[in-house]
Structure 1
């Protein structure tokens, strides 16, 4: 082929994505026009992604998975896209998000910060802006993270949404992020979340002391086949686990924590009083 550009998948994560897209296309004997018709994306854009002149979007990655029959698998284009945008910061996170979008039940615990699934765009943007100021990410990466978070939240708005159980340490509502207005809107979002039909929301107050079993984010997923997964994070790493002998103790500890946490009504009342500045 006269104008065919050689691809080096080792050059960058984007190059690896483009090379994989081309090889997946060519092994099926498809031209870029053929793939364009199947994906509903212009052949010029497909060419740009294959040769790294254009960066793939999350929508592009999901469309590729659909066309190549990879939706629901582990090593998807969507997972590769997430790895491109999250790098090695959170190992296991892209795979976790794929399972989260299909979970029947989601259990979350967080300390210090509102978890991503409950964050308002303004709260998320304030957190990413601080990362930009520290020089850990670029402004473009910050925007990509916020956009990804919004898309991750939207993935749960399906005809039969998952049951969401959330326990937040009291520090999550006490730590001011983004100024008064941003924090007030975030607290209002928590109240709205508690009112949804598929949610259970509780605060773990400081008073429960050592009865709080977790010191950092813990996510627990139950899929429709009743298989269970856990995902935990440190400052720089994430770990996805599906082994029953390690996941079940986390589930047990989560249920025990719920017994010590405030009721949903008491949790909403604490947030309401916090917004009024009376606590």
Structure 2
């Protein structure tokens, strides 16, 4: 025990995972080898995860949950370790999004992730790599996570999804002509689904547009509400009605001022033809 390394759970998601793993292992009086036997791996693997030298895989974290009978707590915590390309707090929001009965989106400048094609998402990630914001490996991770997030909403009953996009989302050419054409076609397909709504907030709304940055609003199955907003570097998930209700009211005002779905789809079709 003299060589036992001290862990600092505040130093990062991997350290927090490893420290929690060690604490629960110690509470049961297990050595790393005894823990490894229960997990089906080696003692050195357990050691590497505990000290943060090796990130926990989903399979490893799920096995830890099984051994400790902790539901999916370790598996969810491991996401923060593996999702290094994502803003801290975003995986937590996605966990709520997967349970929501209603999802309301507003985005400006880019198509929101839930509606992106893989090619559009890949072009966005490639731009972040060129800027030096993320590594190529993180770009792949970011796109894969987006596709996984989209798949998580294919369920029964399907959530109602309402999307209002600023006109700039359609006019910003991401990935070139072919990528944008396929992306615009995806929007038209989305609008045709029975559980969705799509509207464009035109430039002419000007100062009457209540939002200038991305806003997500969730209605949960028990009818509770939450909002999610993010800046370039931070996220904020809010469950307080005193702050969420004004956003919901503004969203309804946004929908009233935006183009109808029929007119919005017509605009998208005209853009695909190059007539706007």
Which of the five TM-score ranges fits, normalised by the shorter chain? 0.7 to 0.9
TM-score, normalization: structure 1? 0.84
TM alignment of 1:41-190, pairs within 5 A: 47=46, 49-50=49-50, 52=52, 54-58=54-58, 61=61, 64-65=64-65, 68-71=68-71, 77-82=75-80, 85-86=83-84, 90-190=87-187
Match of 1:13 in 2: 13
Asked whether the 8 Å contact 2:80–2:88 carries over to 1, the reply is no
Taking structure 2 as the reference length, what is the TM-score of the superposition?
0.85
Equivalent position to 2:232, from 231, 235, 258: 235
CA contact (8 A) 1:112 1:169 kept: yes
Residue segments in structure 2 that go unaligned for 5+ positions in a row: none
* Unmatched tracts of structure 1, length 5 or more: 37-41
2:272 maps to 275
Larger Rg: 2
Q: Choose from 32, 39, 60 the match for 1:35.
A: 39
Cα distance in 2 for residues equivalent to 1:261 and 1:111: 13
Q: Deviations over 1:204-250 (max 9, x none)?
A: 11122222100000000111111110111222211111110100000
Q: Once the two structures are superposed, what CA deviation does each residue of 1:91-144 show, in whole Å capped at 9, x if it has no partner?
A: 532321221111111111000001111111111111111111111111111111
Separation in structure 2 between the aligned mates of residue 123 and residue 203 of structure 1, nearest angstrom: 19
Query: Equivalents in 1 of 2:180, 2:245: separation in Å?
Result: 35
RMSD value, Cα: 2.9
